Amino acid sequence: MKQKDFCIEKKVENLLEYFGENTERDGLKETPARVIRMYGELLSGYSENPKKHFKLFDSNGYHDLVTVSNIDFYSLCEHHMIPFFGKVHIGYIPNGKVLGLSKFARIVEVFTRRLQTQENITHQIAEAIEENMHPQGLAVVVEAEHLCVSMRGIKKKGFITTTSVFKNKLKTDSFLITQFYRDIDNYLLNKKI
């Protein structure tokens, strides 16, 4: 065990004791070490560069809307370190290059595995795609439920927040915007049937 890990374990132990727990009881003896491993996984996005996931391919003349929807994510709110989770929907119009579909999920993971706000996630995903793909149009929509709203404070369940970034043709072309939302709705509709 690294010295740094031991110091953090001790702080987790102190936190448990502060709230009246007996850190010597069986169920809690290994909890500080598990907490460190858990946060290592939940915050692994800090050690990853999103650029490494942008392996582009020739679009072979395809220049219409591509929609990748319903990408699950889990993140930690930077204000309370409580989870928030939901779906990311991405639409883009290629500019001569396309990205392998699984890479969108990997890019989402890079940004959601950090202490975040939903607004930042939406913006960061959009910026990374724009900088690395230069699409003719781009839409990123994030829908999420925040446990800091449903399990503390106001305590309202099912409270969904939506954030979005639209750029270039997907900001100005009403047909493309409608098609993007139709693609998302069709997926969700078919999922319920």
Over 90: is that where the pLDDT of 188 sits? no
Is 79 marked active-site?
Answer: yes
- 3 catalytically annotated: no
Which of 63, 79, 119, 131 is flagged as catalytic?
Answer: 79
Over residues 6-49, the pLDDT tens digits come to: 799 999 999 999 999 999 999 999 999 999 999 999 999 999 99
77 is catalytic: yes
Mean pLDDT over residues 131-144, rounded?
98
Q: Which of 17, 30, 78, 131 is catalytic?
A: 78
Cβ atoms of 73 and 87 within 8 Å: the answer is yes
Quote the percentage of the chain above a pLDDT of 90. 87
> Is 118 labeled as catalytic in the residue annotation?
yes
* 146 flagged as catalytic: yes
77-106: per-residue pLDDT in tens? 999 999 999 999 999 999 999 999 999 999
Global pTM?
0.92
Instruction: Spot the catalytic one: 130, 134, 148, 179.
Output: 148
63 is catalytic: no
* Mean pLDDT across 55-60: 96
Is 130 known to be catalytic?
Answer: no
